Chains A and B, each alone.
Chain A
């Protein structure tokens, strides 16, 4: 029996079941497994809180209130206040919007060109494929930190720069995965048969390669989402994040370092938020992967 939380990447791809069947299985899997349910719950509540933040009647996350600085957590300010008197709870919730949005945009920013490039690399001639993959190898060897600083230097620090930098870092990984899937799909007998029967190439690609790639990429993305969230926080922590006064989880942590002894709560809560989100996303991602992995069909 396979472990409830699996780790290895999926291997061979048999012909894909129909779309509806697949998502139905995901749903069943999710409901069955308590951990993945917990994970999904966390993710969903996080998203809801982030979306609803402006409507919750919280204190302003950006308005200065010098008289109220460094209040420790308690009624009125459940997470305390920071060095400029702003409510930390409010900042964490508003920060969720930026951090989650940044991660989502990074994912899509990497996935769109990534899937395209990967499919092209998978179905094209060896020469084109080779060029693309060499480029991807180069990109992958490039130290991500250097790239992030370079983009921040060119475009100014901020979420946009982080999205671009991280997007570029994850692009080659997605291209690789997609290409692998594309290759294995077109090697399948039914595809070769269809081709022999005169099916136009592009239609084959769209109907067989694309759906497979998408499902695999979705699984990969759900794994990467957590990583990206952490990376965004790490880069902000180094000072490359959104300039003040906009809060992001990473830049709240960055500011908090100075005040770590007087006001450790400024560092504690955003970190918990990150940890919780990453936990939820990991669980959720594992569940999605388990559900999509045909080997585990029980």
Chain B
């Protein structure tokens, strides 16, 4: 079979033992640490007898390995179980929240590409000029800002002081594109600033490295216009490492940027991670771990494919 397909299959197959290990580890972990979903549900209002009663009803008094095997059996059939806390199916919960996180991350990515790539390019082309220095300073500062702090400052400035952007009543972009976007602007800026800076640096250094290469000199010698040289040759090759890094970051972010989602009250996957952890909602936690790992591998796969597409040497090599 073609090497690409074999590569993909190998990756997917390698994922399985990791998922196994992760699910066992997280199952064990959540049990080892103090905290009981029944207790959390009762919220300290119950007597010890009520706690025991509730645990029995939730099926929490059965031995660990039995519960794990039962969970495993269901997962293989595609059933991730139900949340202990609010009886929704874990799959439904994930499906419902995923678009929010996805739109947040995509918007952040979009911002970073729209600002970061040109910034990096300009920085490289006008190397050591004031443009370059300003860009690099901004980049450095942006890399240092904690995203949740930036988010707080943005809220203060735009929502509270200037009253420009709304805070309440989050609407999913799926239901209403325009309103949904308004709620995503601030959080994606907070999230995207770091990405923008990262991308700008990457593009700058890659472009610089590429511009020093022989084939660029050849292209110029051939009489090609500077713009063609820049875009068709330099940028394209420079984007390769950028794609890798951005892909990895995106994978991480899609796992749920818990802090930003909590701050901006967005019902995304990240917020679910925190809520599930605090409630010791084991089925949800297990489901989330599966989701995050699978997503991560998928993204890596896509990135590699993109890489192959962009770098002709890999395509035909």
Contact = CB atoms under 8 A, between A and B. Distances in A.
A147 B25 CA distance: 11
Contacts of B33: 150, 153-154
A145 B258 contact: yes
A274 B146 contact: yes
B26 A146 contact: yes
Interface residues of A, number: 45
A271 B255 contact: no
Nearest to B277: A149
B144 A282 contact: yes
Contacts of A141: 18, 22, 293, 296
B308 interface: no
A230 B143 CA distance: 11
Majority secondary structure of chain B interface residues (helix, strand, loop or mixed)? helix
Contacts of A154: 32-34
B152 A257 contact: yes
Contacts of A204: none
Interface string A133-153: 010011001110111011001
B298 to A, nearest CB: 13
B201 interface: yes
Interface in A175-229: 226
B277 A145 contact: yes
Interface in A264-283: 264, 267-268, 270-271, 274-279, 282-283
Interface in A60-97: none
B258 A261 contact: no
B144 A226 contact: yes
B140 A279 contact: yes
B78 to A, nearest CB: 22
B207 to A, nearest CB: 10
Interface range on chain B (Cβ under 8 Å from partner): 35 or more
Given A149-B277, A153-B34, A275 B289 contact: no
Contacts of B152: 253, 256-257, 260, 267, 271
A233 interface: yes
Contacts of A268: 153
A5 interface: yes
Given A3-B208, A260-B152, A274-B149, A142 B22 contact: yes
Contact of B35 (A153, A237, A277): A153
A6 interface: yes
A142 B145 contact: no
A253 B149 contact: yes
A138 B140 contact: no
A125 interface: no
B18 A146 contact: no
Interface in B263-296: 263, 273-274, 277-278, 285, 288-289, 292-293, 296
B46 interface: no
Interface string B140-159: 11011110111011011000
A137 B296 CA distance: 13
A261 B160 contact: yes
A8 interface: yes
B26 to A, nearest CB: 7
Nearest to A250: B146
Contact of B18 (A138, A276, A282): A138
Nearest to B155: A260
B25 A275 contact: no
29 contacts: A3-B204, A3-B205, A5-B140, A7-B202, A35-B140, A141-B18, A142-B22, A142-B26, A142-B289, A143-B273, A143-B288, A143-B289, A146-B29, A149-B278, A154-B33, A234-B148, A260-B152, A260-B156, A267-B152, A267-B153, A271-B145, A271-B146, A271-B150, A275-B141, A277-B144, A278-B145, A279-B143, A279-B144, A282-B143
Interface of A: 1-3, 5-8, 35, 134, 137-138, 141-143, 145-147, 149-150, 153-154, 226, 230, 233-234, 237-238, 253, 256-257, 260-261, 264, 267-268, 270-271, 274-279, 282-283
Give the 8 A-B CB pairs with smallest separation, nearest first: A271-B149, A278-B144, A279-B144, A153-B33, A149-B277, A154-B33, A275-B144, A138-B21
Given A138-B18, A146-B273, 6 more contacts: A3-B208, A5-B136, A234-B148, A264-B156, A267-B149, A267-B152
